[in-house]
Amino acid sequence: MRLTEILTLDSRGRIVLPKNVRKLLDLDEHSHLMLEADSEQKEMRLVPFYDVEKTLTLKIIMNDIPGALAQIAKTFGDLNINLLYGTSRIIQRGKAAEWTVICPMPLSITLEDLREKILADGRAQDVEFIKESD
């Protein structure tokens, strides 16, 4: 089922999601939403995250070589860390690329250990923890 609503921002830039939308998407006051904004297209999307209490957003700078992203993603899989969202772009062709990832906060490993595991095989150049949310 698809639903369209026109919403109004209040003076502080907030919107209220109508009750019928919250019910349709099974959202409550503790739900997590991801906002994607595209300045070129002048549009945004809100995407619900279900069954996630705390999330971590990190930016990984890696070598722009075939298989680098796949190998780093495999590290997340080896650590049983689900990827909720990811976007990548080339910074300098043949030299560096960037992968921004949102994942549940790892419970079985510290953030410093996660950084070391990502950097271990040499495909990642840097790992930056951008945001922790709950």
CATH number at residue 64: 3.30.70.260
Number of domains in the chain: 1
Please check whether residue 101 lies inside any domain of the structure: yes
User: In which domain, by residue range, is 97 found?
Assistant: 55-133
Please check whether residue 36 lies inside any domain of the structure: no
Q: Note the pLDDT tens digit of each residue in 33-67.
A: 888 899 999 999 998 887 777 889 999 999 999 99
The percentage of residues in the chain with a pLDDT greater than 70, rounded to a whole number, is 99
- b vs e for 24-42, b when ≥16 Cβ sit within 10 Å of the residue's Cβ? eeebeeeebeeeeeeeeee
Please check whether residue 19 lies inside any domain of the structure: no
Tokens representing 20? 């019928």
Q: Is 47 left (phi over 0), alpha (psi -120 to 50) or beta?
A: beta
Please check whether residue 79 lies inside any domain of the structure: yes
Handedness of CA 120, 126, 127, 129 (dihedral sign): positive
Does residue 5 register a pLDDT over 90?
no
Q: How far is CA 106 from the centre of its chain?
A: 14
Please check whether residue 95 lies inside any domain of the structure: yes
